[in-house]
Amino acid sequence: MVFRVLIVCALIALFNKNYALSNDLDLQARIEKLERRIELEQESCKEMNARLKEEVQSLRNIITNEHRNGTLTHVYKRQSTPEVVAFTAYLSYNPEHIADGQIIPFDRTITNLGNAFNIHSHTFICPVDGLYMFSVVISHLTIGEVLGKLVIDGVNIVDAIADPVTNGHDQQGINMAVVQARKGQAVQVVNYLYNDVWYRSDETNRFSTFSGVLLQEM
């Protein structure tokens, strides 16, 4: 009887030992599996980090090249210039005795976004390199023609003429141009060909005007 009990105890002990060993082996396998997974994740992170470094360096190279080539210049220009540039000026009186080559004295503004038109010099100064559109309207009353020309730094761009055919008859001359201009260039409307002429316009009847707008910075 005692012998049987000893055998049973021995079998139970052996079973428990094998069970514990099995658990240890299973736990060890799970640990090894987790370690392998961690190693794979670390390798993946290293590869991703390397790719990110390459992309960052590539972007730095692009920015450096664009700085060297001046292709980012327009970005910095826009930070220091008005977003909108546009003006309309007019004659608030009938200027008389205008000489050949004299700037037509547009002395009032309706719009002057960007403050690039000067009513004292009657001149628009281009605030940035860009594509601009300008229009000129000149008016005259009674027989006799007047001619005005749009000039940029003194160079003729387009002309306008008003030539009433009878006394008491009004006529307007109109022209416009789309031009590429550089920062700092002066744009004016100049009387030419005749001396001692006058243009019709006043505060109430704004027949003679000079307008411009920046279409696109370049």
| Spatial separation of the C-alpha atoms in residues 184 and 118, rounded to whole Å | 13
Residue scoring higher pLDDT (168 or 64): 168
Q: How far apart are CA 171 and CA 173, in angstroms?
A: 7
State pLDDT tens for residues 58-95: 777 777 776 666 555 544 455 555 689 999 999 999 99
Tell whether the model's pLDDT for residue 117 goes beyond 90.
yes
| Same domain? 39 vs 118 | no
Q: Which residues contact 166 (CB under 8 A, 6 or more apart)?
A: 142, 143
Alpha carbon distance 104, 106 (integer Å):
6
**49 and 99 share a domain?**
no
For residue 55, being part of any structural domain is answered with yes
In this predicted structure, the answer to whether residue 126 has a pLDDT above a threshold of 90 is yes
pTM: 0.63
**Count of domains observed in the chain:** 2
d(C-alpha 209, C-alpha 11), whole Å: 115
Residues 24 and 122 in one domain: no
With respect to residue 130, please indicate whether it lies within any of the assigned structural domains: yes
Whether 76 maps to a domain, the answer reads: no
Residue range of the domain that includes 60 = 1-71
**Window from 33-37, 86-90, 119-123 with minimum mean pLDDT:** 33-37
* pLDDT, average across residues 40-56: 74
